[in-house]
Amino acid sequence: MDNLWKKYHFNQISMRFIKLISLIILVVILAVVPLVVHNPYYMHLLIMVGINSVLAMTFILMLRTGLISLAIAAFWGIGAYASALLSMRLSLSFWLALPASAIISGIFAFFIGYLLVKQGGFGFIIQTLAIGFIIVLVFGTFDVFGGYVGIVGIPPPDPIRIPFLASIHFISKTPYYYLMLFLLLIVVLAFSAFYAAWTGRAWRAIGLSPRLAESLGVDLFRYRLLAFVIASTAAGLMGSFYTHYFQAIVPATFGPFKTIYVHVYAILGGIGFPILGPVVGSLIMTIVPEILRVTEAAEPIFTGLLIILLIMFLPNGLLGLSSSWQRAAHPSENLAKVGRWIKTSLPASISNHQNRK
Amino acid sequence: MGTVLIQLVVDGLAMGMVYVLLASGFNLVIGISRILFIAYAQFYMLGAYILWGLMVPLKFPFPIALCAATLAPAILGGIIYLVIFQYIQYKEQQFLTNIVAAIGLMMLMAQGAFFVFGTESRGMASVFAGMVDIVGIRISVEKVWLIGLTFAVLIGLHLLLQKTRIGRAMRAVSYSADVAALQGVNSNMVYFATMVVGCALAGFAGGIMAPVFAVSPTMGNVILLIILVVMLGGVGSMPGAILAGLILGLTLSFGQYFGSDIGAYIGARGSGGGLAQIFFFAVIGIILFFRPGGLLGQPMEEIPL
């Protein structure tokens, strides 16, 4: 038993090391992309891939706890509108509006989630769908938000002045790309930290079997609400970036259809891969339509066909290919895993007590 | 004022009838086969286009065109089940996988409609022109026909579900697919039949709505409203779908009339439709908060992921 535990521990450490190395390599590769790609349109596509993959990551985060949210784009929109209004009405700097709008989005998520998360399951899907609708209608109907034509003339981020060196102005796509990369890195690191800590283990236990997790003392409501708030905060952060990147927003962008696309990004990449899956999925969903643009109007037809074929033959996503070579886990192994995750996610006093026995 | 109110009620009922038909079909599909069939409203659009195509360029009479508009989407829905969903339905994580396949299908069909029919919306002359006097209130004949036809179809659906063999099998599968399979019900056959009946209802709804509203490729966007209506009524509950569809129709019809006056006070712009919808969605949220299973349904268990 002791031997097994050591092996498990060793595996965890080596996996963490490999993950860290691969993350650094990936970031370096992504950082040199602007030196190679000069076409502004391609840079724009890459920036959109970054935004979409963060949204898809939030989807997987909530899915881990058994919540399928159709309001991801709504919280993205709350962040976007909050940032636009803060920087235009209160003439706040972008660097203050960015965290502020993420926090505002998180606060909204806390209150809305407090009401909705209790139910879980199917009711949650539909209530978030209702919220997805209401947000678009509220943005479109009230004068404060500029109606259905949206808000235009949102200022770009203030230039960063580095002392004794050149200052960075947000004019071309390249600074935006690096800003996107920075935000993506923050979100990835934060999410990985949450997954690695006791919260992540509790989430995985809930995702595998809510009833079992609840019967063993995991508070479903609290962990689900936490996941909802974290996910919405990340979405709000990206919303603020999106606003200042586009410098114009319309309510229709933040409707439930956007959320449905976000689901597609995540599922195509593979929902078993919370960080890499969304990036791969949104990259594929952005690049493939560009390749298929040979026939302009027929492009969504091919994309739709591609989605159907991929989901029929690769139901675990593209990255799921790698794990499908391995042996499928036996159900009892899953149960043992749940037990382990729960044990490690409980407060220290309880688990110590169990260990002493 | 009284006349206006009754007019509004009749308008709301007629508008609600479409939602009732669509919600009943969608309710069948999700309640029995557990497929969140997002491409569903595309069959509604298809039915409308078939009716328009047969009546305006080809000059077929209305009953034949309506039959074709019902049958063609039904056949297409059956084929799609056999080609795509049959293979997904029995795999792991079938709920999520089905949603994605349905999204792909929706993109394909919506853009296909743009490609084939063009972007402009097409109107047609109404089939039942004229007005009828009912105790001093003038109501267009079209709306009376619409309400009557919908009632006939709903009664047929009720008989199908309650009296026939396949209907009993459907109810058994919706209760528990495993137990039904143990009793010798072929669940794959039941899912197939569900899809055919559901798509037939969508095509019929499109057929009777084509003369009233204009036909356009964006008609499929109504799917999000349908999901809400089904949830408000309760998944798997036919009376719930009817009730919720009528509530939506009445809310929209009253909202468009009174909404603009109220909206002027609170800084809202545009017609009253937007405010009415916000009100409707807020009401749905509140009702679902207190009754998670919808008005007349049972709360659904956790979705297996």
Instruction: Check residues A321 and B301 and name the one with the higher pLDDT.
Output: A321
Which residue is it, tokens 């086969």?
B33
Which residues sit opposite A168 in a β-bridge? Answer: A160
Chain B, 201 to 240: residues with Cβ < 8 Å from chain A are: 224, 227-228, 231, 235
Complex ipTM tops 0.85: no
For the stretch A54-110, pLDDT in tens is: 999 999 999 888 888 888 999 999 999 999 999 988 888 889 999 999 999 999 999
Mean pLDDT value across residues A46-53: 92
User: Amino acid identity, residue B229?
Assistant: V
- In this model, does residue B9 exceed pLDDT 60? yes
- Measured between CA atoms, how close is A52 to chain B, in angstroms? 17
pTM score? 0.78
In chain A, where the domains are located: 38-256
B224: nearest CB among A115, A133, A315: A133
Return the pLDDT at A76: 94
Pick from A64, A50, A121: nearest CA to A274 = A64
- In this model, does residue A156 exceed pLDDT 60? yes
- Measured between CA atoms, how close is B161 to chain A, in angstroms? 24
Comparing alpha-carbon positions, the chain A residue that sits nearest to B269 is A141
For the stretch A241-273, pLDDT in tens is: 999 998 889 988 888 878 888 888 888 888 888
Hey, which bits of chain A come out as E strands?
Answer: 151-152, 248-249
Return the pLDDT at B179: 87
Question: What residues in A contact B111, CB-CB < 8 Å?
Answer: 297-301, 304
- Measured between CA atoms, how close is A330 to chain B, in angstroms? 14
Task: Dig out the tokens for A58 from the structure.
Answer: 């939030």
For A292, which DSSP code? G
User: Amino acid identity, residue A237?
Assistant: L
- Taking the CB of residue A289, how many other CB atoms lie within 10 A of it? 15
What whole-number distance in Å separates Cα of residue A195 and Cα of residue A201? 7
For the stretch A191-215, pLDDT in tens is: 989 988 888 888 888 877 788 888 8
Using a pLDDT cut of 90, give the percent of chain B over it: 25
Q: Residues near A61 by Cβ (< 8 Å), separated by ≥ 6?
A: A191, A194, A203, A227, A230, A231, A274
Task: Dig out the tokens for A99 from the structure.
Answer: 């965290």
